[in-house]
Copies of this chain bind each other. A is one copy, B any other.
Amino acid sequence: MAGKKNFSGVIAPVVTPFGEDGSPDADRFIEHSEWLLEEGCTGLAPFGTNSEANSLGLDERMELLEELVDSGIDAKKLMPGTGMCSTADAAILTQHAVDIGCGGCLMLPPFFYKGVNEEGLFRYYADVIDDVDDDRLRIYLYHIPPVSQVGIPLTLIGRLIKEFPNIVVGLKDSSGDWSNTKAILDAYPGFEVFPGSEVFLLDGLRNGGSGCISATANINPRAIRKVFENWQGPDADTLQAGITATRKAVQAYPMIQVMKALIAHYRNDPVWAKVRPPFTEMAKPDAEKAIQELAEVHGFKLNIPETA
């Protein structure tokens, strides 16, 4: 593994806004990304699961990423999702991300075919690494079996680290299973492990974790950052309890939709609520009720400026 860590802290899989016509909206995307960095995110992971990445086309992803870098955001802070079903398309996105200077790539395993063996998954990553053939490449494995169904077993991680020690440098664990995260942390010290939810942020940090890559960092970045900053302090557990409570309150609703509804509401910008198929927006009364419950019952309001 590379000696120096590329990423640490609080990383948001940036939600992707769509314009009136349904196409990705670069202006809103940049505005939200800038706000996330100002509010405490240490990095951004565009094109994660909660970014509706898999509802975007290859070209749309590459264009949005270029717009983000062109806007002045430091590419080193970006860890775009580049894993696809095919090595061919994954290599295109990965090469593109490396070429524009991204600090890392978050790579799903190939997720269409189920029940495949570990050797096949190894070859997928190895083929992409071989195709891209670039020393700057840093891969973060993306383990999210509840959605992708195809997961990344502990032994595969070890084999990839051994074969590509300077390239396969970390992992996002969205299994929701702390025992799996703990097993990875214990097995591969120095590997950059990010739980996929801030619920496990403090537990992760106390066991050598690097931070978290979490959807709800889109709406609660400052409080999550505070846990990261104070994890060795006396208030760590209290602060963690706060962000855990907010996360649990938010994830009681459809995650992507409620986050977009919150952003739309507090930005006073209804277009933000749009989602792409196969998702559908929350019905307006349901969204209003959710926003109200989060504010009144859970004390959660989104500290985001109204769209100018």
Contacts and interface: CB of A to CB of B under 8 A. Distances in A.
Given A55-B87, A58-B88, A120-B279, 18 more contacts: A54-B113, A55-B88, A55-B110, A57-B92, A59-B88, A60-B86, A86-B276, A87-B276, A109-B278, A111-B112, A112-B148, A113-B279, A114-B149, A117-B280, A121-B277, A121-B278, A124-B277, A150-B278
Interface string A54-89: 111111100000000000000000000000011111
A295 interface: no
A119 interface: yes
A143 B43 CA distance: 39
A110 B147 contact: no
A270 interface: no
The 3 closest A-B pairs by CB, nearest first: A57-B88, A54-B112, A120-B278
Contacts of A87: 55, 276-277
Contacts of A127: 22, 277
A123 interface: yes
A60 B85 contact: no
26 contacts: A22-B127, A54-B110, A54-B112, A54-B113, A55-B85, A55-B88, A55-B110, A55-B113, A57-B86, A57-B88, A57-B89, A60-B86, A60-B88, A86-B276, A109-B278, A112-B147, A112-B148, A114-B147, A116-B278, A117-B280, A120-B277, A120-B279, A120-B280, A121-B277, A123-B277, A127-B277
Assign chain A's interface to a size class: 35 or more
A18 to B, nearest CB: 11
Contacts of A279: 113, 116, 120
